Amino acid sequence: MSGTILALAILAAQFLLACAMVCNLWRMLRGPRAQDRVLAFDAFYVNGMLLLVVFGIRSGTTLYFEAALIVALLGFVSTAALAKFLMRGEVIE
Amino acid sequence: MTAPPLWAAWLVVALAVFGAALAMVGALGLLRMRSFYDRAHPATLAATMGATSIVLASLLHFSFAAGRLLPKAFLVAVFIPLVSPVTTMLLARAALARDRSQAFGARPPQTPEDAEWQRKAALLAEAQAEAARRPVEESS
């Protein structure tokens, strides 16, 4: 009983997160300007990380937490670097 | 691995679906909003409440399955809402600097949004020049 509920709900959550990622991808491709793309990329990696966590619930291993943490760290650093690049034209001055 | 009780499963389900729905709402807002500064708001939905509730659902699921509290998931739950405002602030400041430098005629407009910014900046500069030319007479 609880397994069925869980499986269905995880499937629904995965579907919603995948739709959210498609929306973010559309905004990333459309633009219209560079800061919109970076903002969409920021939301995109957060949604991808959440998809990993939900996949971890589904598959039943806690290994995906480390993967999610690495995605979050790399995404934060890359968004900060992109914002710095947009502001100054250089990442490291 | 024992099966979690039914109320725990319902809690996990509710949190996971709520977080995913919030991420979806944020993504729709990212599509629907008109300017960059409007879009910065819905983009934070998934990063704060969505991430917190989904990671909490995962934490509850694995803690009930293992029979003890797993502190590992707290790392993600703390890290993402903590750094999301930092990146949004950085990005908004970068966008503001770009808008300012582009609005004052540094280069030709590339989008209708650009042209609108340049028109507003020209109006503002004109009004400021007008105010500077006018003699101060009303102060008695």
Check if the beta carbon of residue B39 is closer than 8 Å to that of residue B27.
no
Distance CA A2, CA A77 (A): 39
Distance CA B108, CA A62 (A): 52
Instruction: Give me the pLDDT at residue B109, please.
Output: 64
Whether the per-residue pLDDT at B3 is higher than 80: the answer is: no
- Asked if B84 and A62 come within 8 Å (Cβ–Cβ), the reply is no
Check if the beta carbon of residue A49 is closer than 8 Å to that of residue A34.
no
Whether the per-residue pLDDT at B62 is higher than 90: the answer is: no
- Asked if B55 and A53 come within 8 Å (Cβ–Cβ), the reply is yes
pLDDT for A80-91, tens place per residue? 999 989 888 777
- B98 contact A CB<8A: yes
Q: Who wins on pLDDT, B73 or B92?
A: B92
Instruction: Give me the pLDDT at residue A37, please.
Output: 92
User: pTM for the whole thing?
Assistant: 0.78
Which of A1, A35, A43 comes nearest B98 by C-beta? Answer: A35
Residue of A nearest to B83 (CA): A76
pLDDT for B88-114, tens place per residue? 999 998 888 888 776 555 556 667 887
pLDDT for B4-55, tens place per residue? 678 888 888 999 999 999 999 999 999 988 888 888 899 888 889 999 999 9
- Asked if A43 and B43 come within 8 Å (Cβ–Cβ), the reply is yes
- The pLDDT of A1-25, averaged and rounded, is 89
- B56 contact A CB<8A: no
How many CB pairs below 8 A link A and B? 175
Whether the per-residue pLDDT at A76 is higher than 60: the answer is: yes
Distance CA A90, CA A5 (A): 50
Which run of H or E residues covers position B83? Answer: helix B72-103
- Averaged pLDDT of chain A: 89
pLDDT bin (cut points 50, 70, 90) of residue A23 is: very high
Check if the beta carbon of residue A75 is closer than 8 Å to that of residue A42.
yes
Q: How far is A35 from chain B (nearest CA, A)?
A: 6
pLDDT bin (cut points 50, 70, 90) of residue A51 is: very high
Instruction: Give me the pLDDT at residue B136, please.
Output: 66
Which of B20, B46, B86 comes nearest A43 by C-beta? Answer: B46
Strand, coil or helix: B104: coil
Q: To which residue do tokens 């808008």 refer?
A: B99
Q: How far is B54 from chain A (nearest CA, A)?
A: 7
- Asked if A23 and B28 come within 8 Å (Cβ–Cβ), the reply is yes
Instruction: Give me the pLDDT at residue A89, please.
Output: 75
